[in-house]
Amino acid sequence: MKISVSTLPFYPRPLKNIFDILLNINVNYCEIINEYPYDSIEYDLFDTYDLEISIHAPLSDINLASHNEMIRKISISEIRKSIDVAYKIDSKVVVVHPGHIPVLGSRFKDKILHYNRDSLMECSKYAQEMGIKMCVENMPNIEGLLYKDLNELENLVLDIDAYITLDVGHAHNNKFTVEDMLKTSRIEHIHLSDNDGSYDNHNALGDIKKNGLNFNSLFKGLKQINYNNLMVLEVEQPKGVVNSLHYLKKINE
């Protein structure tokens, strides 16, 4: 398994510090959330570390579905910047969050979906030009977020010729079974965390003893579909990284 670790649990430590930690625990993959303080990348750093990197486009202050045209344009620009970063450091994928319904936008949902689709289409075309796979992530069950439903997301990425980041914690939070998750086509990237189904807590793998995600079934299913790409631990705390790695070793012995 190609187990990666997000910068999320170590935020906002310097990248150099995070890379040292990962190599010390025998992790050779890292996903960088490309916003402050990781919006300004020192590219020389990557020459000194033997790590495979994936890029997660910014989470904060952008909305590809905004009915404010200037916000949409800036949001697209930020995604394009992350694609540029991915190109420069030879990352194969860029993870992108779909837009969300803005305040006072619920009465214009059709327009919001149209804006969102056009914004993502523009980003997908740019990613293709740069030789990068843009992977749109399914969202947790939080009001206003778009593409919480994996079936709707699958239809979207087929329409815009993009790919999916399957966040299994988000899918579990939306009551999708592991079997349903793995029926989804165009999965090119995976985020791993656990929760009890009621909220997207980003717990360590195996932390939830009741109603947690069935990781044995997940990894068995991934093996059956020959999934060989990155699986990123996206947990809240550094301790959760270590606990998740121990859990993965135990269930895969």
217 token code pair: 């079934």
Handedness of CA 223, 225, 226, 230 (dihedral sign): negative
Asked if residue 37 lies in contact with residue 88, where contact means CB atoms within 8 angstroms, the answer is no
Helices 150-160 & 109-129 angle (0-180, nearest 10):
50
For residue 60, give both structure tokens: 């904060």
Per-residue pLDDT of the chain (253 residues; tens, 9 = 90+): 899 999 999 999 999 999 999 999 999 999 999 999 999 999 999 999 999 999 999 999 999 999 999 999 999 999 999 999 999 999 999 999 999 998 888 889 999 999 999 999 999 999 999 999 999 999 999 999 999 999 999 999 999 999 999 999 999 999 999 999 999 999 999 999 999 999 999 999 999 989 999 999 999 999 999 999 999 999 999 999 999 999 999 987 6
Q: In whole angstroms, what is the distance from residue 99 CA to residue 57 CA?
A: 12
Give the H/E segment covering residue 214: none
* Rounded Cα–Cα distance for residues 145 and 136 (Å): 13
| pLDDT value of residue 105 | 86
Give residue 97's identity as a one-letter amino acid code.
H
CATH 3.20.20.150 fits 2-251, yes or no: yes
Per-residue confidence (pLDDT) for residue 253, from 0 to 100:
67
